Amino acid sequence: MPTATFNGLNFHYERAGEGPRLLFISGTGGDLRVQPNVFASPLARAFDLVAYDQRGLGRTDKPDVPYSMADYADDAAALLDHLGWDEALVLGVSFGGMVAQELVLRHPSRVTRLVLACTSPGGEGGASYPFHEIEDLKGEARARHLIPISDTRRDATWAAAHPGEYAKLIELTAADPFAGEPGRAEGAHRQLEARAKHDTWDRLPDIACPVLVAGGRYDGIALPETLEKMAGRIPGAELRFFDGGHLFMLQDRAAYPAMIAFLKA
């Protein structure tokens, strides 16, 4: 598996597919070892796709020092340098969308078109759900807490009416096969620290490339009203909602085709 060294750290990344160059930036806790990952999605059939484990995550180095959102954005730009890509399409999901905002603001010439999926601007525009406040919740307790937030249709009434599906969701959401790895907890904590300070609201009008803001109608993590505010503050941004929650990309079959069409326009 390819690795690259930049900004003082060793980064794990993967690449597949053919077509326009697309950098995918993953969400909170993103780890390419967790299957299925983005390379099982339609993106890998439509683009020359690169994805990576961000600092503190997966098979990338996990220094136990403070991280900033600027650090994450500069990591993404340095990966583009390593690949020899002067510019790229960018798709950032959830936390990755926060990184993508910083990337396009700090390195505007590197991003040609941008999809911001189920994310937030922070500040006066509104923040995504404060994961740093539930860092103590683990396993099933965390799953039970997050399921009705990730998709607001999955409330207690729904859970009682669909016990089998609810149990499966708990099993999937609670799974953390790499929980005991050295540095895993520290890296995850440092990511949440940086996430809590994310704020691009005042700078969003500076984004000049075409932007699609996409989200789920039932997302309680990146709220629809927050996405509306963000899209309204980015010049010329398009806004699309899909039939799902925070995982709308997996829930609505129209989501990937819509994002691919935008990126290839």
| Residue 65: C-alpha distances to residues 68, 158, 199 (Å) | 10, 42, 20
End-to-end Cα separation, the chain, in angstroms: 32
Contact present, 6 and 82 (Cβ < 8 Å): yes
- Segment (H or E) for 164: helix 163-174
- Segment (H or E) for 185: helix 184-196
Q: What's this model's pTM, rounded to 2 decimal places?
A: 0.97
Q: What digits encode the pLDDT tens for the residues 139-161? A: 999 999 999 999 999 999 999 99
Q: What digits encode the pLDDT tens for the residues 69-103? A: 999 999 999 999 999 999 999 999 999 999 999 99
Beta strands in the chain (DSSP E): 3-6, 9-16, 21-25, 48-52, 88-93, 111-117, 211-216, 238-242
- Segment (H or E) for 139: helix 139-150
- Segment (H or E) for 262: helix 255-264
192 CB burial (10 A radius; 0-12, 13-18, 19+): buried
| Residue 164: C-alpha distances to residues 17, 102, 158, 167 (Å) | 37, 41, 11, 5
Residue 1 reports pLDDT greater than 80: no
Q: pLDDT value at position 19?
A: 98
DSSP assignments along 197-258, one per residue: T-B-GGGGGG--S-EEEEEETT-SSS-HHHHHHHHHHSTT-EEEEESSSTTHHHH-TTHHHH
Q: What is the DSSP letter of 143?
A: H
pLDDT band at 122 (very low <50, low <70, confident <90, very high): very high
Nearest to 22 by CA among 98, 75, 95, 100: 100
Tokens linked to 43: 């993106």
Q: pLDDT value at position 220?
A: 98
Determine the residue type at 28.
T
Q: How far apart are CA 49 and CA 42, in angstroms?
A: 10
Q: What digits encode the pLDDT tens for the residues 167-222? A: 999 999 998 889 889 999 999 999 999 999 999 999 999 999 999 999 999 999 99
The overall average pLDDT reported for the chain is 97
Q: pLDDT value at position 176?
A: 86
Nearest to 230 by CA among 59, 97, 91, 88: 97
Contact present, 77 and 110 (Cβ < 8 Å): yes
Q: pLDDT value at position 179?
A: 87
Contact present, 133 and 126 (Cβ < 8 Å): no
Determine the residue type at 256.
Y
Residue 59 reports pLDDT greater than 90: yes
User: Region 18-27: what's the mean pLDDT?
Assistant: 98
